[in-house]
Chains A and B, each alone.
Chain A
Amino acid sequence: GAVVSQHPSRVICKSGTSVKIECRSLDFQATTMFWYRQFPKQSLMLMATSNEGSKATYEQGVEKDKFLINHASLTLSTLTVTSAHPEDSSFYICSASPREGLNNEQFFGPGTRLTVL
């Protein structure tokens, strides 16, 4: 149990286009989902925290107009990178925190590799 999926696993896009990444909790309801960014050989950097039905909370230095987060249901959160540029190329990882039970843990998706040309 407690599986989180991400789609797509890899995406290559042209500079200036927008890319949407989906994060789904497959077998539990998630009150909170997190979006992380990871540069090569570095740790995870928290970008934002989203709660179902409310606006995401962005970490300092993360542009909310560039990284749009929608947590429309208890099993789905999306991250849209708008007007992507090469510097946005990174590994994006989501995680989800269950609504009930297992309430000390986040469950991580497999990540999405974004390459902007």
Chain B
Amino acid sequence: AQSVTQLGSHVSVSEGALVLLRCNYSSSVPPYLFWYVQYPNQGLQLLLKYTTGATLVKGINGFEAEFKKSETSFHLTKPSAHMSDAAEYFCAVSDGGAGNMLTFGGGTRLMVKP
């Protein structure tokens, strides 16, 4: 069984500050890891994903995440927050099996203060 824990249901940063959203996972097989962003009343948009290879993954909108196997973590970062980054962020894990079923974390709402 797989699980995902996102520490902090709400994170507030000032515009221009570092964004750090935490994600820890558990998986019995090498995981595929994803970060999605959701704006109000919209579906999910993929920010980035890790499957194999380089552990530092760069995504859209200046976000990146690093897969750390020893820490079972996949934290999402962005050097400088922008007001448009305010949204809900979901970390998810898949075992890459049939259909690529995802297990989602509880989500983190990012608020950006001017």
| B63 in contact (CB, < 8 A) | no
Neighbouring A residues of B109 by C-beta, 8 Å: 41
Select one of B43, B44, B101 contacting A49, CB under 8 A.
Answer: B101
A-B interface contact total, Cβ < 8 Å = 57
Count residues of B near A (Cβ-Cβ below 8 Å): 24
Mask: chain A, 42-77; 1 = CB below 8 Å from B; 0 = not: 111010010100000000000000000000000000
Closest A residue by C-beta to B105? A43
Q: How far is the CA of A49 from the CA of B43 in the complex (A)?
A: 18
Given A43-B106, A44-B90, A108 and B44 contact (CB-CB distance below 8 Å): yes
| B73 in contact (CB, < 8 A) | no
Neighbouring B residues of A113 by C-beta, 8 Å: 41
Per DSSP, chain A at the interface is strand
Neighbouring A residues of B24 by C-beta, 8 Å: none
Mask: chain A, 67-110; 1 = CB below 8 Å from B; 0 = not: 00000000000000000000000010101010000011111111
Q: How far is the CA of A46 from the CA of B49 in the complex (A)?
A: 20
What size tier do the contact residues of chain A reach? 20 to 34
- When the two chains form their complex, are residues A106 and B43 in contact, meaning their CB atoms are under 8 A apart? no
Chain B CB count within 10 A is highest, among A42, A108, A109, for: A108
Q: How far is the CA of A49 from the CA of B102 in the complex (A)?
A: 11
Neighbouring B residues of A44 by C-beta, 8 Å: 44, 90, 104
How many whole Å from B93's CB to the nearest CB in chain A? 12
8 more A-B residue pairs beyond the given contacts A49-B101, A95-B44, A110-B42, with a C-beta to C-beta distance below 8 A: A32-B100, A34-B99, A34-B101, A42-B107, A46-B102, A97-B100, A105-B34, A111-B42
